Chains A and B, each alone.
Chain A
Amino acid sequence: MRRSPALLGVILLASCAGGGTIEISDAWARPSPEVADTAAFYVSLVNQSDVDDVLLGAESDRCADAQLHESVMEEGTMSMSHLPSIVLTAGSDLEMAPAGIHVMCMGVTEPLTVGESVSVTLTFEQSGDLTVSVPVEDR
């Protein structure tokens, strides 16, 4: 889902010693209420290499802690489960989206406001640490 040229700009290619190549696109976050303790980041990932990679976690200086989470609907009830890691097989992609997989930001240090970009680092087994600039948008 390509939404705007500005978002297409947020594409980062990285090659590391392990040979992994992860393309990150369509990163965004909703503005967070001033009183809120949590927020979510969404990114789309494509493993463009021919080796499997694993997303091991995320961090941002705007979150006391950040974890990979998935909102799951079970028998009409919405739950969230913590994903310790997400495997990205060679050539596969992963689209994070509302009510699905997201990076959960816990202990928001400062509210996310429209127009700013938040730096979020994703850690991969093969590709190492990739830092992406996540624009805060009212979608």
Chain B
Amino acid sequence: MTVLSSDIEPRPRGRRRWPYLVAAALAGIGLGLLALALLRPHVYAGAVLQSSGPAPPMTELSYADGGEVDLAALRGDVVLVYFGYTHCPDVCPTMLSSVARAVGGLGAEGERVTTMMVTVDPERDTPDLLAGYVAHFDDGFRGVWGSEDDVRSVATRYGVIFEHDEPGADGSYLVSHTASLMAIDPEGALRIVYPVGVTADDLQRDLAELLG
């Protein structure tokens, strides 16, 4: 009789069904979380500049290994600009090491990141010295050099100031400088400013986002 069979069936069938319901519920939650993650905008680790426009030109400066610095030629790449100097013992190596790790972590995509250190000490930082210094951190890093007046004009456009401290007894001196790292996006806009202390991981995530 049909009544009898339906009386017997429900328990085993119910027992067999619940794992599927749990799996379906978990899959639903998973999809929801994935959608949230995809829809949520990337939060940059640095300060995002709103409508900053094209990055200020620096054509009066040259690469330490030759050639004028033409930012327009780097469209499509992310350009990281740092103002530093080779006699800088602490802050510059800290920043350049983080950038090197971040760019290295991107693998092949890292080739679309151009990192340059503009010297704020052109008197002591000869092009050769500068090229050797930045290459220590990453073979692809570019040293950028110019006369003190030209470096100062470019620095001012980027909101960077620098000043030579009083020389010590041996004539050596340190340079106080704005030590932020600036990122120019592939469209050529100055987009993000990073403080000293930005981690390589945070920077790598931001670079991946900027590269698209």
Stretch in B106-114, B145-153, B170-178, B203-211 touching the partner? B170-178
> Are B178 and A36 in contact (CB-based, < 8 A)?
no
> Are A78 and B133 in contact (CB-based, < 8 A)?
no
> Are A77 and B177 in contact (CB-based, < 8 A)?
yes
The answer, yes or no, to whether A1 is at the interface (CB within 8 Å) is no
The answer, yes or no, to whether A13 is at the interface (CB within 8 Å) is no
CA distance A34 to B132 in the complex (A): 8
Chain B residues 127 to 178 lying within 8 A of chain A, measured CB to CB, are: 129, 132-133, 135-137, 161-163, 165, 170, 172, 174, 176-178
> Are B161 and A36 in contact (CB-based, < 8 A)?
no
A contact residues around B90 at 8 Å (CB):
40, 69, 71, 80, 98-99, 102, 104
> Are A39 and B89 in contact (CB-based, < 8 A)?
yes
What 1/0 flags go to A92-114 for Cβ under 8 Å of B?
00000011001011100000000
Interface set of B (CB-CB < 8 Å, partner A):
86-91, 93-94, 97, 129, 132-133, 135-137, 161-163, 165, 170, 172, 174, 176-180, 196-197
Closest 4 CB pairs of A and B: A33-B136, A38-B89, A78-B179, A79-B176
A–B complex contacts, Cβ < 8 Å, 15 sampled: A30-B97, A32-B93, A33-B133, A33-B136, A35-B132, A35-B133, A36-B86, A38-B89, A40-B90, A69-B90, A76-B178, A78-B178, A98-B91, A99-B197, A105-B89
Interface set of A (CB-CB < 8 Å, partner B):
30-40, 65, 69, 71, 73, 76-80, 98-99, 102, 104-106, 138-139
